[in-house]
Structure 1
Amino acid sequence: YCPNDSRASTLVCAIDGAVSNYHLQVKTNTEAECLVTNGKGKVVGVKLRWRDSGTIETLKAKTYIIAAGAIGSPVILIKSGLTGRSGQVGRNYMYHCGALAAGLFSQPTGGADTFIKQLGFTDLYFGSGDFPHKLGYSQTVPIPGHLSIQENLPVPIPDAIAKFLLKRILAMTGFVEDLPQPENRVEVTNTGAIHLVHKFHPYDIYRSRYYMSQLKKVMRHAGVVFMFGATGDKDDRHTAHQVGTTRFGTDPNTSVLDPYCRLHDHDNVFVVDGGFMPTSLGVSPALTIVANALRVADYIKETC
């Protein structure tokens, strides 16, 4: 995704090296349809569909690892009939109920092209003296392009004005750890389509509104000329920081995966993505997902 490979992505840090040195084969333009079982607690294959031709190919292995994200992984499990005893596959779908404050300044801020995600603080991670509720990390975020500014303003403006505004905007967001709720879920319809059900808990919104007020205070201290804020009230569908739909635990009656992220009832299938997390944290889950994947990889290497 980065034209000069400067970003430390999974592709640069892991996949390219594995292709070159460890015989990894990457099949692009394919989609995992489902896992195939032998009826005795073992998965014996994975069906792949080639998107161009629709051809189905079945690959066989000793161990299967699903890492399709907190949306894709439960979909594969549901299509495979591997929903276990807990009824929790696809349940507890979470993403951060964030607060946002965007400000217009009299001078260029660098927020659109230079100072992107370079400022952050954790002062409010556990709330404050007058607000003893857990919130999360806060950071500056990339500014949308001038076309997005034109699209979201109530009145049309010329390109030149939109580009002028773009250079003088700075935006900050605060993460709020949304609560796991079984009603929030990933479903598969009768036609095979993915359907997301999500509604923030009132407590999530209560905290995000407070966070927005604090972010606005930061903007005022920075000398903002004009600002606006937004919270999770709108409950828009998005897929940032999705976690929770295949959570792990020790009890197969209440969790999907065991502590090593293996399906409780199928010991040769592991799910290694954000779905294992029972809560959404107050930070981006990326490093936690990576750390857990490395932990599970060591376990697979030693035992499988």
Structure 2
Amino acid sequence: MIVDDQYYDVIIVGTGAGGGTLARKLAPTGKKILILERGVFPLRESSEAQDIELFKKETFHAPEQWYDENGEPFRPQTSYCVGGNTKIYSGVLMRMRDRDFETVQHQDGISPAWGLKYSDFEPYYTEAEKLYQVHGKLGDDPTEPAHSEDYSFPPVEHESHIQTVVDGLSKQDIHPAYLPIGLGDQGRTDAEDTGITPALKYENVTLKTSAHVVCLHTNPSGTAIKAVQAKIGDQSYLFLGDIVVLSCGAINSAALLLRSQNEKHPNGIANSSDQVGRNLMKQQLSVVVQLTTDPNSALFQRTVSVNDFYWGDKHYHYPMGHVQNAGGILRDVIFTEAPPVFSAISRLLPSVGIRQLATRSLGWWLQTEDLPNPNNRIRFVGDKLHIDFTQSNVEAHDRLVYRWIDTLKQVESLHPGMFNRVSHPRSDMPVQVVAHQCGTCRFGEDPKTSVLDLNCRAHEVDNLYVVDSSFFPSNSSISPALTVIANALRVGEHLIERLK
């Protein structure tokens, strides 16, 4: 074991939306900051990943095995590289609705209230939107919460096929809205170009890649983290620091805490409440495909969202969820890694090649909130990581799918020559697709029912923080990315005061 000869004020583990943003926030303080990243710099931007063969090669699947609740192994679709999952995300950066922070009744149960409210996050949402260059437009979405400032960048215009659908939706008294999306000079903004790269311009910031953190070590009393153990190549290193921040993703942050058990923390660090690893949430994610008679480029951005069914409708008085277009299929990395979508279309049109199908398809993502369940959890059997997960709100999601397909049919009836209306294939994302994972280290004021306090500091460990989506007590029906970024900025402000 090699003990690093440097001592750091802050050690950040992970470079995704939380860790990368926090590094950018703390870099100007002059404090000595170490960033540890399991992966390396990616070879190319996600927006350049236009090879339809990606899904066959499992390019963005982690080089390890996890196990489902039946003990079956799988390779998770998650990204270990500088920038984390923001290197393969869609770039959609949407605020949670103000009601998402309150107690919400769903058909399958309660979505619990947060210890903080929308007003507590609002200034950090604004800061995050400026930092990640979010393009958007206010006033079209009836569920949009109040903004203290307008978007700094104009919305991205719709591709012609999407514009046709948008016009048809408006005729049905539906409210299509421009999708807020982070875009810079190089394409989608992410935690590498917006967080890590600017942070590394400061001499006080050090990044070590290929550094797989395997254990946290506490002081003898168990009240503080004294060292972070990482494997770099074939050698183990110990890094010492005053404050340790985890941003490994909801699954891996919880797994690291569980693996780091010791005499003072026999069930895992910060886990006397037995809440670490529990309440894993992962939205129900489905894709519905429209087939068109004429081709599109298959390279356009996502641009439109529909939240008319977010809180339900006159036929169903429980929340259903969020709809957005999938963007050009050749540009959407996660979409291209979803073989069920293409196999569904291929069964309908077996004589047409996959690339041609991609240019004659419009995809729609449908997202429904998953409720916290303590039995949905991360656990270890020996050294094997198991994911126990059962979805909730299944009927609500099915209703959203059927309602959306009916809505698309109404649009298509206005343009019978433009759409192939033979079917609308649907594909549901399995547990292996860990997009939008959250929970596992929820924050709250009661140490008996939460892992972190409202500043995302572990109740039991004074210098340990978690800034990925682990802290979510509920997960809404939209992407957690912007809320993770805003929270990292909020926690960063707290840490700046503490570091003084």
TM-score (normalizing by structure 1) = 0.89
Structure 2: distance between partners of 1:75 and 1:196: 10
After superposition, residues 13-92 of structure 1 pair within 5 angstroms as 13-40=194-221, 41-50=223-232, 52-53=233-234, 55-81=235-261, 82-92=269-279
> Which one is further off, 88-97 or 135-144?
135-144
What residue in structure 2 maps to residue 113 of structure 1?
A: 299
Tell me: CA distance 1:219–1:186, structure 2 relative to 1, closer, same or farther (3 Å). Answer: same
Q: Percent identity between the aligned chains?
A: 27
Tell me: CA distance 1:230–1:182, structure 2 relative to 1, closer, same or farther (3 Å). Answer: farther
What residue in structure 2 maps to residue 238 of structure 1?
A: 433
Q: Is the Cα–Cα contact under 8 Å of residues 270 and 459 in structure 2 kept in the other structure? A: no
What residue in structure 2 maps to residue 93 of structure 1?
A: 280
Aligned length: 295
After superposition, residues 130-209 of structure 1 pair within 5 angstroms as 130-142=315-327, 143=329, 144-145=335-336, 148=339, 151=343, 153-154=346-347, 157=350, 161-191=353-383, 193-201=384-392, 204-209=393-398
Shift of 1:219: 2.0
Shift of 1:157: 4.4
Tell me: CA distance 1:83–1:168, structure 2 relative to 1, closer, same or farther (3 Å). Answer: same
Q: Is the Cα–Cα contact under 8 Å of residues 95 and 240 in structure 1 kept in the other structure? A: yes
Q: Is the Cα–Cα contact under 8 Å of residues 320 and 399 in structure 2 kept in the other structure? A: no
What residue in structure 2 maps to residue 282 of structure 1?
A: 477
1:292 aligns with 2:487: yes
Letter in 1 for 2:362: L
Structure 1: distance between partners of 2:245 and 2:225: 11
Shift of 1:38: 1.1
Shift of 1:27: 1.0
Q: Is the Cα–Cα contact under 8 Å of residues 105 and 226 in structure 1 kept in the other structure? A: no
Q: Is the Cα–Cα contact under 8 Å of residues 270 and 460 in structure 2 kept in the other structure? A: no
Tell me: CA distance 1:229–1:166, structure 2 relative to 1, closer, same or farther (3 Å). Answer: closer
What SS is found at the alignment partner of 2:207?
Answer: coil
What residue in structure 1 maps to residue 148 of structure 2?
A: none
Shift of 1:137: 2.1
After superposition, residues 247-258 of structure 1 pair within 5 angstroms as 247-258=442-453
> Which one is further off, 145-154 or 256-265?
145-154
What SS is found at the alignment partner of 1:129?
Answer: coil
Where structure 2 has 5 or more consecutive residues not aligned to the other structure, the ranges are 1-43, 49-184, 262-268, 330-334, 413-418
Q: Is the Cα–Cα contact under 8 Å of residues 249 and 468 in structure 2 kept in the other structure? A: yes
1:124 aligns with 2:304: no
Shift of 1:123: 1.2
Deviation string for 1:262-301 (max 9, x for gaps)?
A: 0100010001100000001121000001111110011011
Q: Find the partner of 2:462 among 267, 271, 275.
A: 267
Letter in 1 for 2:354: A
Q: Is the Cα–Cα contact under 8 Å of residues 270 and 458 in structure 2 kept in the other structure? A: no
What SS is found at the alignment partner of 2:188?
Answer: coil
Deviation string for 1:92-140 (max 9, x for gaps)?
A: 1111113432121212244x212x3112111111111111111222101
Shift of 1:238: 1.9
What SS is found at the alignment partner of 1:17?
Answer: helix
Structure 1: distance between partners of 2:225 and 2:354: 55
Structure 2: distance between partners of 1:299 and 1:170: 44
Where structure 1 has 5 or more consecutive residues not aligned to the other structure, the ranges are none
Structure 1: distance between partners of 2:356 and 2:430: 30
Which structure carries more strand by proportion? 2
Structure 2: distance between partners of 1:231 and 1:154: 13
Shift of 1:145: 4.9
1:228 aligns with 2:429: no
Deviation string for 1:212-251 (max 9, x for gaps)?
A: 011202321232423334375x854320100001000001
TM-score (normalizing by structure 2) = 0.56
Q: How big is the alpha-carbon RMSD for the aligned residues of Structure 1 and Structure 2?
A: 2.3
Shift of 1:260: 0.5
Deviation string for 1:46-88 (max 9, x for gaps)?
A: 00011x32x1100000000000010110011111120422101
Structure 2: distance between partners of 1:147 and 1:100: 9
1:211 aligns with 2:420: no
Tell me: CA distance 1:222–1:30, structure 2 relative to 1, closer, same or farther (3 Å). Answer: same
Shift of 1:150: 5.9
Deviation string for 1:127-182 (max 9, x for gaps)?
A: 11111111222101142559956655349946x63332221111112211111001
Tell me: CA distance 1:150–1:245, structure 2 relative to 1, closer, same or farther (3 Å). Answer: closer
